[in-house]
Structure 1
Amino acid sequence: MTDDLAHSVLRYTDQQSGKSPFATAIAGLTILRSDHPKPLSHMIIKPALCITLQGAKWTAFGERRFDYGAGQALVVGVEMPAVGQVMQASPDQPYLGLVIELDLGVMREVIESLDSAPIALESVRHGVLVSDFEGPLADCAARAVRLLETPQAIALLYPAVMREICYWLLTGPHGGEVVKMALGSDRTRRLVGAIHALRDRYADPVRVDELASIAQLSPSAFHRQFKALTAMTPVQYQKQLRLFEARRLLASGETNVENAAFQVGYESASQFSREYSRMFGASPRRDVASLRRLAA
């Protein structure tokens, strides 16, 4: 099944005029292709299935790195900044992948509809896992890709595909982990609420006391559990959000380095440039020039 799906994705990318990643007519479905190993890429990953159909790559969240090759999927349950790299790709055997954003509302509906819902595993601490991608899940992904050939059918049929994806994730071998990771306990949901507050106000100074209050935790417990879930401290999480957004602003030509620094919350343009260089391996101006050459 994954071979057939890889062939369908390869055919789809051959027909596109732009460059990977390819946004599709299905909201939340992105197709990836790389004919060569790629340099590091920086991204914000929402709750999603990140599937490798051909080739291999790795994705790191803070201090944790996850490798996944053909026939495997990275399951992400919490929105987080990440760094990734395609390691295995060639013109004859390009890296091929799919990103399917998960609808956690549908996930909750499916749990409530199950006669015997999986029990959330207390031992699961992280918001990410790697799973084999085969059988019914691969069939769901194949049907989603086939829907791209009939855009008029997407609105009617894709919601059922998403519901089935949630079903197979919840009833599969990692069901207990998926429940804990994507939906969590009341405590985890409050922690995710604090993460969303930090994401929405990333340009403001971090106030751990305020975030801890949202999570209904003491500041020390909040800091500990935040890092357990994301592999980052709140300050590290915020810094990555700021720098990713600044990079987007600069690459789009919307602003200059100094204004980008202030827009994302830095008070010092020199500090911004130092941290930007550490994150992306080059000064803002050199990095953006390189990005534009690659996009040309």
Structure 2
Amino acid sequence: MLEELAAAMLDYTDRKKGMSPYFTPIDSMAILRSDHPKPPVHRVSQPAMCIVAQGAKWASFGENKLEYKAGEALVVGVEAPSIGRVTEASPDKPCLVLAFELDLVIMRSVAESLDEPPKASGDTGRGVFVTNFQGPLADCALRLVRLLDTPKAIPTLYPVIMREICYWLLTGPHGGDIIRMALANSPSQRVLEAMRWLRERFAEPVRIDELAEIAQISVSAFHRQFKALTSVSPLQYQKQLRLLEARRLMVSRAVNVEAAAFQVGYESPSQFSREYARMFGEPPKRDLKRLASRLQDDIIQGDHKAMLMGAA
């Protein structure tokens, strides 16, 4: 099944013009292909399931580093800063990843239809984990890729396949973590609401007690649950969002270092430069020069779009 899935994804990308990521007729799904290992890429990961049909990658969320390879999938239930890298890829055997959003409306519907839905243990759930997807899930993934060749069938068949994916996830070994994404009133959902509030105001000073109040829990419980979901503290989360946005402004809009620092909420350019260097390994100007050189290399290799978007 795994070889069939990789062959179908390879065939699809070979027939498409342009470069990875390959967007598909299913709006919430893309195929990521890399013919070479990649340097680490900083990005804000979106809630999704990323299935590896061939090759290998790793993703790091705070102190939590997750490796996943062919036959495994990364499930991301929170929007969080991360570092990702393609570690196993070659022109003869590219790294192939099928990435799609998990439809929480369908997830809730499937959960409600189960005679014995999974129980979310305790008050803290994981927001990111790796799961095996061979067997029924691999069959679903293969049917999704084959569905791309018949776009008119997508509105009818895609929801059916997604329901099946949700079923296997909910009844699998990580059902307790998956159910937390679907339950609107779970502790994790209330923390996610506070997290959303923080993302929308990341350039402003943050008070943890305000975030805890949004989540309707104590400050200590909020810290614990926030870190369980994202692997970083709320202040680290805010700092990473600020630095990623500043980097984007400098790369894509040619904003100078000082202006970028102020736009994302820093009052001290020197503090900004120190924290930027800790996160990206180099001070801003040197990092931007390295990124420009890397972009040129990726253009030569035909992967500049993937590099700009932080994809595989």
- Assess same fold via TM > 0.5: yes
2:180·2:186 contact (CA, 8 Å) conserved in 1?
A: no
Shift of 1:110: 1.2
Distance 1:277 1:19, change over 3 A: farther
* Structure 1 residue runs of 4 or more that deviate by more than 4 Å after TM superposition: none
> Counterpart in 1 of 2:44?
44
Looking at structure 1, the residues matched to 98 and 24 of structure 2 have their Cα atoms a distance apart, in angstroms, of 11
Deviations 1:84-114 (A, max 9, x none): 1111111211111111211112211111122
Looking at structure 1, the residues matched to 26 and 138 of structure 2 have their Cα atoms a distance apart, in angstroms, of 17
Q: Unmatched 5+ residue regions in structure 2? A: 300-312
1:209·1:219 contact (CA, 8 Å) conserved in 2?
A: yes
2:203·2:264 contact (CA, 8 Å) conserved in 1?
A: yes
2:125·2:177 contact (CA, 8 Å) conserved in 1?
A: no
Looking at structure 2, the residues matched to 126 and 100 of structure 1 have their Cα atoms a distance apart, in angstroms, of 19
> Counterpart in 1 of 2:289?
286
Letter of the 2:35 partner, please give it. Answer: D
> Counterpart in 1 of 2:271?
271
Greater Cα offset, 176-185 or 19-28: 176-185
> Counterpart in 2 of 1:210?
210
Shift of 1:254: 5.6
1:93 partner SS: coil
Looking at structure 1, the residues matched to 16 and 257 of structure 2 have their Cα atoms a distance apart, in angstroms, of 33
Shift of 1:73: 0.7
State the TM-score, normalized to the length of structure 2. Answer: 0.87
For the aligned residue pairs, the C-alpha RMSD in angstroms reads 2.1
> Share of identical aligned residues, percent?
60
Deviations 1:241-287 (A, max 9, x none): 12222222333236333332222222233332332232223333324
Q: How many pairs were matched up? A: 296
1:194·1:215 contact (CA, 8 Å) conserved in 2?
A: yes
Shift of 1:184: 7.8
Distance 1:255 1:24, change over 3 A: farther
Letter of the 2:196 partner, please give it. Answer: H
1:53·1:96 contact (CA, 8 Å) conserved in 2?
A: yes
Looking at structure 2, the residues matched to 49 and 277 of structure 1 have their Cα atoms a distance apart, in angstroms, of 31
Deviations 1:29-88 (A, max 9, x none): 121111121100122222221111111111111101111111011122222111111111
Distance 1:141 1:90, change over 3 A: same
Residue 16 of structure 2 is aligned to residue 16 of structure 1: yes
Looking at structure 1, the residues matched to 203 and 35 of structure 2 have their Cα atoms a distance apart, in angstroms, of 37
Q: Unmatched 5+ residue regions in structure 1? A: none
Could you say which structure has the greater relative contact order, defined with CA pairs below 8 angstroms and 6 or more residues apart?
Answer: 2
Looking at structure 2, the residues matched to 258 and 18 of structure 1 have their Cα atoms a distance apart, in angstroms, of 35
Shift of 1:123: 8.2
1:61·1:82 contact (CA, 8 Å) conserved in 2?
A: yes
Greater Cα offset, 79-88 or 117-126: 117-126
State the TM-score, normalized to the length of structure 1. Answer: 0.91
